[in-house]
Amino acid sequence: MIADDSVVVRGLFARWLGESGRFHVVGVAGDGEAAVECAGRHHPDIMVLDLDMPILDGAEALPQIVRQSPGTAVLLTTTLTERNAQLALQCMSRGAVDVLPKPDRRSSLTLSLDFRSELLDKLGSIAQSRQRHGEAGPDLGPGAAPQGGVVDLRPLISVMPRYLLIGASTGGPRAVARMLADLGDALASLTTLVVQHMPPLFTASFADQIAAQLGIPAREPYDGERLARGMVYVAPGGRHLGVDRKLGHIVASVSDGPPVHFCRPAVDVLFSEAARHLGPAALGLVMTGMGSDGTDGAAALRRTGAAVIVQDEASSTIWGMPGSVLRAGQASIVLPLGGIGPAIRALVGGAHPA
């Protein structure tokens, strides 16, 4: 189902979806109120929901859509503004699976092959995830069972970690915030760096959201900044975040290098540079997300003796990134979302998680 106040955008999206041969559009809506009604009538597998709509905007309509059709996966679309970034993050904490920024002008939307490709890729990943999970969606609770069969796991830890490196994409804002909350006081003993695939404005708002919800210092770092324990650093949207060593101190490396596996920021960049400068003092964590970003970097971490945790399939919105690391034999342990925080707490406390 497509909900957007522009008849041009609704027609364009419907044509793209039809031409792909993978989707069937069951309904369209031009405002939030109609989107709620249409969701209750059709119970679509996926809804593409615009944030900026009359009567009810997307943020106001979302809770009603979730109540009317709890099995519907909602992909948000919106123009890039600070307000919309904040609203989108709120929506993702309330059940939306991801957000896709629109090009600035509708003319560029019509001509944007990159936007069309990204829209279809995201919808395809969501559809595949629904087929695996069923309509109930991922299990975000602590009892979710690890999946993946027989894999190559190495001993989880060789030294107590001092740096926590997190990579996430689709479904990540909600999962990362949950995991950080589970870490609690252990965050004070760690320097935490997060690569969350999101565009500019969204990453700054994500850092602000973490700081407000958890009461911990969180922000985007600047290039060359000395990294401090007890801080959460979020990679700026559209820029790579890595680490470097200068004058005996570990500092942030923020760069405009080319995308890696179509990603900027890229988890592979953070993990690879951490492997070079931090070695086994780093702990890698690959969480829910589409694609394979993080797999090469996880291998680099593993070669130094560092451990890599991956989120399990049952609790992931999209099991692309963590599944890729696991299949490549670069995971130390596979854990459900509810088990990641307690496991890291145990490692920081000097214990080995059960």
Active site residues: 169, 197, 293
The length of the chain in residues reads 354
Strand 2-3 to strand 46-50: parallel, antiparallel, or no bridges (unpaired)? parallel
Sheet holding 98-101, edge to edge: 28-29, 2-3, 46-50, 73-78, 98-101
**Which residue matches tokens 């451990």?**
307
249-255 vs 240-246, strand pairing mode: antiparallel
Half-sphere exposure of 273 (CA within 13 A, CB side): 18
Report the amino acid identity of residue 92. M
* Cβ pair 311, 340 in contact under 8 A: yes
Determine the Cα–Cα distance for residues 212 and 97; give it in Å rounded to an integer. Answer: 21
Give burial (CB, 10 Å; 0-12/13-18/19+) of 238.
middle
Helices and strands, number each (H, E), in the chain: 12, 14
Cβ atoms of 92 and 173 closer than 8 Å:
yes
Angle, CA 218 vertex, CA 215 and CA 220 arms, to 5°: 160
